[in-house]
A and B are shown apart, each in its own frame.
Chain A
Amino acid sequence: MTSGIRDKVAIIGMGCSKFGERFDCDAQDLMLEAFIEARADAGIETSEIDAAWLGHAMPELGMGPTATPASVALRLQNIPVTRVENACATGTEALRGAVYAVASGAARIALAIGVEKLKDTGFGGLPEFDFGPRASLFAPSMSAPGGFAQLAAAYGAKHQVNAADLKRAMAHVSWKSHENGAVNPKAHLRRRVDIDTIMKAPMIAAPLGLFDCCGVSDGAACAIVTTPDVAASLGKKQETVMVKALQLAVSNGVEASHSSWDGATIITTRSAAKRAYSEAGIESPRDALSLIEVHDCFSITELVTMEDLFLSEEGSAPADVLDGFYDRDGGIPCQVDGGLKCFGHPIGASGLRMAYEIYTQLLGRAGERQLSNPVLGLTHNLGGFPHENVSGIGIFGLPGV
């Protein structure tokens, strides 16, 4: 039995660049933008950082391999810097590294920074994925929306939801995120979109239309973490957010190769969620969580995730979504910052961006989009495809919660 990470590590500073089509910036510029904000927030000098983790998922599009570009861009002091990559869960992976370093005592203060520069490809959407020389022998050239669109087919078949009803619920997911993104100054997509426009948008990968897909963005986000004692010594006691749980679950081939998976759930999310709730001491997440930031790469992903996080009953996510349970004035506001959908999805930064919003909300700094008295928030960061993926879950709360 492990003791878990709960309350062992405090976040003392966070930063997030403006997300979007940052044609004016390199990845290095985006990192520096996020870092300067976080360092000021933490009230520390660069020299006080003992170790850093860089999350950067697509180095061939951004700044190349190794952690060197981050160390150079931030002028880190020849400290250990580790580059991590776990597809779209990369940001959470970077945070895990920094948090565990602090918890172990290996580092007094650690930095997690995630970045992605996706808009130097010359086209919209992500480039083709390379599955390596073996899988490419028989695997279709699957796009990200195509991978996740299959969830809709399987979910509809499993729960006997007709395609039109499911599409309508998915449209509400996106509509809500556009409403939220409109009031977030750092969000990539800030335009409200009506349901009808969402429903009638051009098809990308059936049944996902244009507005069922998240923004492909440039951006960076970062966190500075330390122990509660160090946080207190820095005078940060009233302005820290505690890590309550940090879990990761990775597919082992069952979904792709064994008939036990129905194609309508994300097995790893369920596994990571159970462990995270246990680690954080949460018995009823639907009652306990003040807000959530989930991996809404596509509307159907968010919808299915509500069940995988045990927030909606099996088969009832569409009803909860349509009832507005996950709207900003609902039972559990989801994506109050706009989510991947509208804040944007610079892959390596996303897990940290989610944590940034929870942190900002918990500290009451969210301005126009501030929720009333949130105390506990969850991030869910998913990399890969439904049949083979990485799920990262973080739970963050105010001290004493």
Chain B
Amino acid sequence: MVKGDETTGITSFGVYIPSMRLQRKALANEVGWINPALNAYGSGVRAICDFDEDVITMAVEAVRHCNDAQALGEISAIVAASTTFPFTDRLNASVVAPAAGLSDSVQAVDIASTQRAGVSAFRVAERLCAVDGASRQVLCVAADRRRGRPGSLVEMTSADAAAAFLFGNENVIARVVAHKVSTVDFVDHYRRANEAYEYGWEERWIRDEGYRKIAPPVLTSVMEAAGISAEDIDHFIFSSTIRGVAAGLAKAIDIRDDAVRDDFQDVMGEAGAAHPLLMLADTLCAAGAGEKILIAGFGQGCEAMVLETTPLIESVGVRHGVRALAQSDHQIDLPFIRYLSFNGQLDPDFGPRAETDRKTALSAAYRHANEVARLIAGKCEKCGTVQFPKAKNCVNPNCGHEGEQTDHALAQESAIVKTVTTDWLGFSRNPPNRYGMVEFESGARMIMNFTSALDEPPVGSEVSMVYRIQDFDPYRKYHRYSWKARTCVTPYNGEKK
């Protein structure tokens, strides 16, 4: 029993599902010749990253999509989970933190290496929050973008997405009432360090020896620890790409059929370590007060929790669930060849301009870390002009005041397109390159890329900021992040319907 046990719980959550879609039928048409069995999976769609998205950018979006994200307040820790972090020796959570608006005093932790990483991160964040109670707030964010070998079942079933949960001790909407875990080196699949693809074993063996034997004791014991029985469970969250696993487990331990939660395989696919948390966020959109949620993560054993919603869950109101988000109007279908080239699975000829060295000066990047990651502009202390980049002498021709400017963050401000072009000449990994000048509400302006849209935004239209990969350096395997403008405002589950 620690001090925060009585009070700690979820206060807010956010989900991010990228707009790009890969139609499984199109995918099956391309790879079905290799393995005709894949045609049986040829329905529905996969939600996938745009060319400039990855685990970090999705995680940033999920945090920003937490309800009332701007009012999150001081967050003392961030626990990030993924099996596909872009860096293995650079704290990925530390890249997410400033872009998500967290302060430098935050504790940051990465949890990786297993499909249950999301559930583990959820528990670690919850415990970090509970450890000293009081006003402490801790963030958990899970994101994944698994890539299977073309022609594999993983390629057919996986999705890219992120979910974030904020834990606190006030205004809690759901609490963890019990937690149980088993750790077993059950190798249903594995991926060695530095390998692009995983290797997996036969599904029937995974189902019979893995899910059916490893999960039930943990699920049963966590319900026992919570002091409830299986029929008390209102929502059962268990993610697997093997069909019927969740329903089979529910049946085996006497959980009601109608408590088994939707896995969204048809509208987005399975987002790896993030998927149980996506399903949990979706459940919270639908749950009433006092409902019991059983959630588990599976991978090298099983980790399970029972959660109970509080009366404050009603304050969440009717929000966009995962299905509604995945089926929003902003989906863009990607051809398979383009998808492969986005992921480096195909190496097309991007032309001679692709040869340009895009080395990042790490010293300059660090010098401008705030400017770039937090999109910090300067505000003149004399005339109030907000300007990017921040300067030591005001750009306003009628002012020219010399002196330090105060920080003014632009990431959450909307902006208007002032100029635009669609450039077929300049290099982009997703040609044509679209960019132009945008002007923020505060008057600051900058030239930036437009992303994730089928056409250029017209002059005068509104755009919002998204954190994306700005450049790839193929020689040094480094990519740097920055902000881009996006036309459509994708609905998010922090937005009430």
Interface, chain A (partner B; CB < 8 A): 121-123, 125, 127-128, 130, 133-134, 136-143, 145-146, 149-154, 156-157, 202-206, 208, 252-254, 256-260, 262-263, 386-387
Whether B456 lies near A206 (C-beta < 8 A) is yes
Q: Which residues of B contact A143 (CB under 8 A)?
A: 423, 425-426, 433
Determine whether B372 belongs to the interface, using a CB cutoff of 8 Å to chain A: yes
Whether A150 lies near B425 (C-beta < 8 A) is no
Measured in the bound complex, the distance between the Cα atoms of B425 and A314 in whole Å is 31
Whether B372 lies near A153 (C-beta < 8 A) is no
CB distance from B178 to the nearest CB of A (A): 47
Known contacts A146-B425, A260-B397; A154/B419 CB under 8 A: yes
Whether A121 lies near B471 (C-beta < 8 A) is no
Whether B448 lies near A138 (C-beta < 8 A) is yes
Chain A to chain B: the 5 pairs with minimum beta-carbon distance, closest first: A146-B423, A133-B361, A150-B419, A143-B426, A133-B364
CB distance from A143 to the nearest CB of B (A): 4
Contact of B437 among A203, A254, A263 (CB under 8 A): A263
Measured in the bound complex, the distance between the Cα atoms of B459 and A262 in whole Å is 11
Determine whether B25 belongs to the interface, using a CB cutoff of 8 Å to chain A: no
Pairs across A and B, CB under 8 Å, 28 listed: A128-B427, A133-B361, A133-B364, A137-B364, A137-B470, A137-B480, A140-B448, A141-B426, A141-B433, A142-B423, A143-B426, A145-B421, A146-B421, A146-B426, A146-B433, A146-B435, A150-B421, A153-B421, A153-B436, A203-B422, A205-B421, A206-B422, A254-B397, A256-B445, A258-B395, A259-B443, A387-B437, A387-B447
Known contacts A128-B426, A128-B427; A263/B446 CB under 8 A: no
Interface centre among B358, B397, B448 (most CB of A within 10 A): B397
Whether A138 lies near B446 (C-beta < 8 A) is yes
Whether A141 lies near B471 (C-beta < 8 A) is yes
Determine whether B356 belongs to the interface, using a CB cutoff of 8 Å to chain A: yes
A145-B423, A205-B426 known; 12 other A-B pairs, CB under 8 Å? A127-B352, A138-B446, A138-B482, A141-B471, A143-B425, A146-B423, A150-B436, A153-B421, A254-B395, A257-B388, A257-B389, A262-B418
Q: Which residue of B lies closest to A259 (CB)?
A: B443
Interface centre among A139, A141, A203, A386 (most CB of B within 10 A): A141
Contact of B483 among A121, A127, A133, A138 (CB under 8 A): A138
Total of A-B residue pairs, C-beta within 8 Å: 145
Q: Which residues of B contact A260 (CB under 8 A)?
A: 397
Whether A157 lies near B459 (C-beta < 8 A) is yes
Determine whether B228 belongs to the interface, using a CB cutoff of 8 Å to chain A: no
Measured in the bound complex, the distance between the Cα atoms of B437 and A254 in whole Å is 13
Measured in the bound complex, the distance between the Cα atoms of B443 and A139 in whole Å is 18
CB distance from B448 to the nearest CB of A (A): 6
Q: Which residues of A contact B423 (CB under 8 A)?
A: 142-143, 145-146, 149, 204-206
Q: Which residues of B contact A263 (CB under 8 A)?
A: 418-419, 437
Measured in the bound complex, the distance between the Cα atoms of B416 and A259 in whole Å is 12
Interface string of B420-442 (1 = CB under 8 A from A): 11111111100011011101000
Q: Which residues of A contact B432 (CB under 8 A)?
A: 206
Q: Which residues of A contact B456 (CB under 8 A)?
A: 206
Whether A121 lies near B365 (C-beta < 8 A) is no
Whether A137 lies near B352 (C-beta < 8 A) is no
Contact of B422 among A142, A156, A205 (CB under 8 A): A205
Interface string of B346-371 (1 = CB under 8 A from A): 00000111001010110111011001
Measured in the bound complex, the distance between the Cα atoms of B471 and A136 in whole Å is 9
Whether A128 lies near B470 (C-beta < 8 A) is no
Known contacts A138-B470, A206-B422; A128/B368 CB under 8 A: no
Whether B418 lies near A149 (C-beta < 8 A) is no
Contact of B419 among A123, A137, A151, A258 (CB under 8 A): A151
Q: Which residue of B lies closest to A388 (CB)?
A: B447
Q: Which residues of B contact A208 (CB under 8 A)?
A: 421
Whether B352 lies near A140 (C-beta < 8 A) is no
Q: Which residues of B contact A150 (CB under 8 A)?
A: 419-421, 436-437
Whether B425 lies near A204 (C-beta < 8 A) is yes
Whether A128 lies near B445 (C-beta < 8 A) is no
Measured in the bound complex, the distance between the Cα atoms of B447 and A121 in whole Å is 27
Whether A141 lies near B418 (C-beta < 8 A) is no
Q: Which residues of A contact B391 (CB under 8 A)?
A: 253, 257
Measured in the bound complex, the distance between the Cα atoms of B368 and A128 in whole Å is 23
Measured in the bound complex, the distance between the Cα atoms of B396 and A260 in whole Å is 8
Q: Which residue of A lies closest to B388 (CB)?
A: A257
CB distance from A131 to the nearest CB of B (A): 11
Determine whether B493 belongs to the interface, using a CB cutoff of 8 Å to chain A: no
Q: Which residues of A contact B371 (CB under 8 A)?
A: 137-138
Q: Which residue of B lies closest to A208 (CB)?
A: B421
CB distance from A77 to the nearest CB of B (A): 39
Determine whether B220 belongs to the interface, using a CB cutoff of 8 Å to chain A: no
Q: Which residue of A lies closest to B399 (CB)?
A: A258
Q: Which residues of A contact B84 (CB under 8 A)?
A: none
Q: Which residues of B contact A133 (CB under 8 A)?
A: 360-361, 363-365
Determine whether B444 belongs to the interface, using a CB cutoff of 8 Å to chain A: yes
Interface centre among A140, A156, A256, A259 (most CB of B within 10 A): A140
Interface string of B432-476 (1 = CB under 8 A from A): 110111010001111111000000100110000000001100000
Whether A142 lies near B426 (C-beta < 8 A) is yes
Whether A203 lies near B424 (C-beta < 8 A) is yes
Known contacts A146-B425, A205-B423; A253/B364 CB under 8 A: no
Measured in the bound complex, the distance between the Cα atoms of B444 and A138 in whole Å is 15
Contact of B424 among A137, A140, A205 (CB under 8 A): A205
Q: Which residue of B lies closest to A146 (CB)?
A: B423
Q: Which residue of B lies closest to A263 (CB)?
A: B419
Known contacts A121-B352, A157-B459; A141/B424 CB under 8 A: no
Measured in the bound complex, the distance between the Cα atoms of B363 and A65 in whole Å is 26
CB distance from A182 to the nearest CB of B (A): 26
CB distance from B408 to the nearest CB of A (A): 13
Q: Which residues of B contact A202 (CB under 8 A)?
A: 424
Measured in the bound complex, the distance between the Cα atoms of B396 and A346 in whole Å is 35
Measured in the bound complex, the distance between the Cα atoms of B480 and A385 in whole Å is 24
Measured in the bound complex, the distance between the Cα atoms of B434 and A140 in whole Å is 9
Interface string of B123-161 (1 = CB under 8 A from A): 000000000000000000000000000000000000000
Contact of B387 among A138, A205, A258 (CB under 8 A): A258
Interface centre among B358, B425, B436 (most CB of A within 10 A): B425
Known contacts A145-B425, A387-B437; A259/B445 CB under 8 A: yes
Measured in the bound complex, the distance between the Cα atoms of B353 and A125 in whole Å is 10
Measured in the bound complex, the distance between the Cα atoms of B215 and A343 in whole Å is 76
Determine whether B414 belongs to the interface, using a CB cutoff of 8 Å to chain A: no
Q: Which residues of A contact B419 (CB under 8 A)?
A: 150-151, 153-154, 263, 386
Q: Which residues of A contact B421 (CB under 8 A)?
A: 145-146, 149-150, 152-153, 205-206, 208
CB distance from B367 to the nearest CB of A (A): 8
Q: Which residues of B contact A123 (CB under 8 A)?
A: 351-353
Whether A258 lies near B426 (C-beta < 8 A) is no
Whether B395 lies near A253 (C-beta < 8 A) is yes
Measured in the bound complex, the distance between the Cα atoms of B424 and A65 in whole Å is 31
Whether A141 lies near B427 (C-beta < 8 A) is yes
Known contacts A128-B356, A140-B449; A204/B424 CB under 8 A: yes
Measured in the bound complex, the distance between the Cα atoms of B434 and A150 in whole Å is 11
Measured in the bound complex, the distance between the Cα atoms of B439 and A137 in whole Å is 19
CB distance from A134 to the nearest CB of B (A): 6
CB distance from A186 to the nearest CB of B (A): 27
Measured in the bound complex, the distance between the Cα atoms of B463 and A294 in whole Å is 35
Measured in the bound complex, the distance between the Cα atoms of B480 and A52 in whole Å is 43
Q: Which residues of A contact B367 (CB under 8 A)?
A: 134
Q: Which residues of A contact B345 (CB under 8 A)?
A: none
Contact of B447 among A130, A139, A258 (CB under 8 A): A139
Interface residues of B in 2-20 (CB under 8 A from A): none
Whether B459 lies near A138 (C-beta < 8 A) is no
Contact of A128 among B353, B385, B395, B460 (CB under 8 A): B353
Known contacts A138-B483, A150-B436, A151-B419; A256/B447 CB under 8 A: yes
Q: Which residues of A contact B449 (CB under 8 A)?
A: 140
Q: Which residues of A contact B460 (CB under 8 A)?
A: 157
CB distance from A262 to the nearest CB of B (A): 8
